[in-house]
Amino acid sequence: MRLTKIFSGSIILPTLFFLISTAAVDFVKAAEFEYPELNVTPRASDRIDQEAAREAGRRWSRHAPILFSGLMTLSAGILQNGNVDLSKDQFKDSPSRGMIVGGVWVGLMSYLATSYHPYESAAKELSTMPRKTVREQLARERYAEARIASAASLAKKLRYLSIFSNAAVSGYMLSKVEKYTLAQGMDILALSSAFAPLLFRNYWEEVAEEQADYKKRIYAPVASTGFLLEPLTNAPSPAFFLSFFF
């Protein structure tokens, strides 16, 4: 009888330990999914460090579409001097408008390329933030995500503002220029190049979209369509499937 009790206890105790440890692991995993910021790979803070390391080599290229558009508008404004149709532009203000708008964009993009480095500054801030507890790690990741989103938001606003302003002033100059001149051809090129930022987005936007996509993949549902058989008639009918991957 005593041996039976000892044997029973030797089975029960490991079983209880296994159940408790399994429950603890499941609890930890569930807690991780409550904070996708901590479960995404790479984390936003790691992505900040990666982009900061190569930011210096992309300072000009990431602004190239808007910079090119501004240069074309500026050049069209300069070339428009002496080629204005006075019957349509008595005050000859179309060249100055083109030079102002184009010059502003060239100056602004040059400033951003040389002085505004969102990933480098964010990496410096993150290096001073503690990360021992879950709360501290969560604060770091949310700060990193906010900085990534902030750079992308700025890039998107500048992109559309650039398209609108350069296209508007280029169209205005085109309507005031003398026909069959080199200036007219330049105005057409400036108007076309105004839409370059629409085709080539800023790298900041791509980084934000990629990071958001990585985060969604943690437990995002995968939807698909197909066919199922009706229980009564066995006839095929359209169906919508939703699968979750953990």
Q: What is the DSSP string of 12-64?
A: HHHHHHHHHHHHHHHHHHHHHHH-HHHHSSS-HHHHHHHHHHTSGGGTTGGGH
Evaluate if residue 9 carries a pLDDT over 70: no
Residues 105, 160, single domain; the answer is yes
Task: Indicate if 52 and 163 belong to the same structural domain.
Answer: yes
Per the structure, the complete domain to which residue 4 belongs is given by 1-34
- pLDDT tens figures, 43-52: 899 999 999 9
The reply to whether 225 falls in a domain is no
Q: What is the pLDDT of residues 122-154, one digit of tens each?
A: 999 999 999 889 899 999 999 999 999 999 999
- Residue (of 160, 190, 161, 159) closest to 173 by Cα position: 190
pLDDT of 175 strictly over 50:
yes
Q: Which of 48, 63, 51, 76 is nearest to 158 (CA)?
A: 63
Q: Could you tell me if 179 and 123 lie in one domain? A: yes
69 and 170 inside one domain: yes
> Does 90 share its domain with 146?
yes
- Residue 212 binned pLDDT confidence (cut-offs 50, 70, 90): confident
Compute CA 192 distance to the chain's CA centroid, rounded to the nearest angstrom.
25
Indicate whether 223 belongs to any domain: no
100, 74 in Cβ contact below 8 A? no
Which residues lie closer than 8 Å to 77 by C-beta, 6 or more apart? Answer: 94, 95, 96, 97, 98, 99, 100, 101, 102, 169, 173
Strand partners, 238: 227
- Determine, yes or no, domain membership for 192: yes
Q: How many helices (H) and strands (E) does the chain have?
A: 10, 2
What is the predicted pLDDT for the residue at 229?
66
Same domain for 26 and 139, yes or no, is: no
232 found inside a domain: no
pLDDT (mean) for 222-242: 64
Determine, yes or no, domain membership for 139: yes
pTM of the model: 0.74
How many structural domains does the chain have?
2
Residue 209 lies in a domain: yes
What is the rounded average pLDDT for all residues in the chain? 83
- Which is higher by pLDDT, 219 or 11? 219
Residue 177, in any domain of the structure: yes
End-to-end CA distance of the chain, in Å?
47
- Same domain for 92 and 26: no
